[in-house]
């Protein structure tokens, strides 16, 4: 049977080759070398081959080096986690392409673990350790994948705080964005030792980092005068995202602030639906503090664009429900 199926892998019809891959996958380890050879010469079959290898369980582990050399490695998230040892070797390979592919697969598995609320039969601390090691890689893309994986896993602050603080100054803007996003998610769970790094991030060259850092600061509790001063400066940012996040942070952190809420309300009255959405979302988080924004939101709910109407109505509902009901 093996020679017949191997021959079918050279058929000009992709449907025939795909069917042969599926049959070979059912033969487990006996077909492993044939599938690896097919992967190295036929990228069109990559997804089917990865699925077949995944069905093999631990027997597929020897195929990992070939997977990581494949241009189609990003499709390999179906390959089972039993291949961990070989994948670890890939993360340390001298070939940067192999390291990139290995980190991409690990990050994908981290996403699956978080989505399924389990560790895909992996030990969670080991997974975190692998990703943390990857943050030290000299390659931008490897660090990006590892930071994304840590972000997806929603690791508690105590396990990765020093690494996250360092990631805020990474040369890769995507690493910095992922790190700032993690701090924004943590909020008050993050140690105040991160505050100096977050305040520096308010001046980051990347607008998304500036905005996420402002949101993180807003969620970390009472702010020092220096924090408030930096946020006031950010309210003049030329980009709407950090500008609105700074306004939100000041409404949250500075009782009696006269400028944050009007800036958010003004954003509702622009023609930029991205700015409108961000402002409406932030206002809905403010609850009773956003009551004065209700007239503008009701006006926005009559916009000719249906998605703009929906975002306004959603914000109105959240503000009114958190305020115990506000009369129309």
> pLDDT 10s per residue in the chain (328 long)?
788 988 999 889 999 999 998 898 888 778 888 988 888 888 888 888 888 887 777 777 788 888 888 877 766 665 555 566 777 778 888 999 989 988 988 887 776 655 544 444 455 677 788 889 999 999 999 999 999 989 888 788 889 999 999 999 999 999 999 999 999 999 888 888 899 999 999 999 999 999 999 999 999 988 888 999 999 999 999 999 999 999 999 999 998 888 999 999 999 998 898 999 999 999 999 998 999 999 999 999 999 989 999 999 999 999 998 866 555 4
Give the residue from 319, 277, 273, 311 showing the smallest Cα distance to 294.
319
**How far is the C-alpha of 113 from the C-alpha of 119, rounded, in Å?**
5
Helical (H) or strand (E) element with 313? helix 306-322
Burial 250-279 (b: 16+ CB within 10 A, else e): bbbbbeebeebbebbbebbeeeeeebbbbb
Q: Please classify residue 51 by burial: count the beta carbons closer than 10 Å to its beta carbon, then call 0-12 exposed, 13-18 middle and 19+ buried.
A: middle
pTM recorded for the entire structure: 0.80
Backbone angles phi, psi at 131, to 5 degrees: -70, -40
Tell me if 121 sits within 8 A of 81, measured CB to CB. Answer: yes
Q: What is the pLDDT of residue 118?
A: 46
**How far is the C-alpha of 276 from the C-alpha of 9, rounded, in Å?**
54
Neighbouring C-alpha atoms within 13 Å toward the C-beta of 164: 32
Torsion sign over Cα 21, 24, 26, 28: negative
Q: Which domains does the chain have, with CATH numbers?
A: 1-76 (1.25.10)
Helical (H) or strand (E) element with 251? helix 240-253
**How far is the C-alpha of 202 from the C-alpha of 239, rounded, in Å?**
13
3 state SS of 200: helix
Q: What is the pLDDT of residue 292?
A: 93
Q: Please classify residue 12 by burial: count the beta carbons closer than 10 Å to its beta carbon, then call 0-12 exposed, 13-18 middle and 19+ buried.
A: exposed
């Amino acid at each position: 049977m093996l020679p017949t199926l191997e021959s079918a892998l050279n058929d000009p019809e992709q449907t025939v080759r795909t069917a042969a891959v599926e049959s070979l996958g059912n033969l487990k380890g006996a077909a492993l070398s044939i599938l690896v050879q097919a992967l190295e010469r036929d990228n069109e079959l990559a997804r089917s081959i990865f699925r077949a290898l995944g069905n093999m369980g631990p027997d597929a582990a020897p195929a990992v080096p070939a997977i990581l050399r494949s241009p189609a490695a990003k499709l390999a998230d179906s390959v089972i986690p039993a291949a961990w040892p070989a994948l670890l070797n890939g993360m340390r390979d001298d070939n940067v392409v192999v390291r990139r592919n290995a980190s991409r697969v690990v990050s994908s598995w981290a996403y699956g673990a978080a989505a399924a609320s389990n560790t895909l039969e992996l030990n969670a601390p080991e997974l975190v350790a692998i990703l943390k090691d990857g943050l030290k890689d000299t390659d931008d893309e490897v660090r990006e994948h590892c930071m994304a994986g840590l972000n997806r896993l929603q690791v508690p602050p105590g396990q990765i705080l020093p690494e996250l603080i360092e990631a805020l100054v990474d040369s890769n803007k995507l690493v910095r964005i992922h790190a700032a996003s993690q701090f924004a998610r943590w909020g008050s769970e993050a140690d105040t030792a991160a505050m100096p790094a977050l305040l520096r991030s308010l001046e980051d060259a990347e607008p998304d980092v500036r905005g996420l850092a402002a949101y993180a600061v807003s969620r970390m509790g009472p702010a020092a005068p220096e924090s408030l001063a930096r946020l006031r400066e950010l309210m003049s940012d030329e980009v709407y995202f950090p500008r609105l996040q700074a306004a939100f942070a000041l409404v949250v952190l500075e009782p009696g602030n006269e400028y944050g809420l009007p800036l958010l309300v003004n954003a509702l009255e622009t023609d930029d639906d991205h700015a409108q959405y961000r402002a409406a979302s932030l206002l809905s988080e403010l609850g009773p503090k956003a009551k004065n924004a209700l007239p503008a939101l009701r006006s926005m709910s009559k916009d000719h664009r249906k998605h703009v109407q929906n975002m306004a109505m959603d914000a109105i509902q959240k503000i009114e429900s958190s305020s115990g009901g506000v009369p129309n």
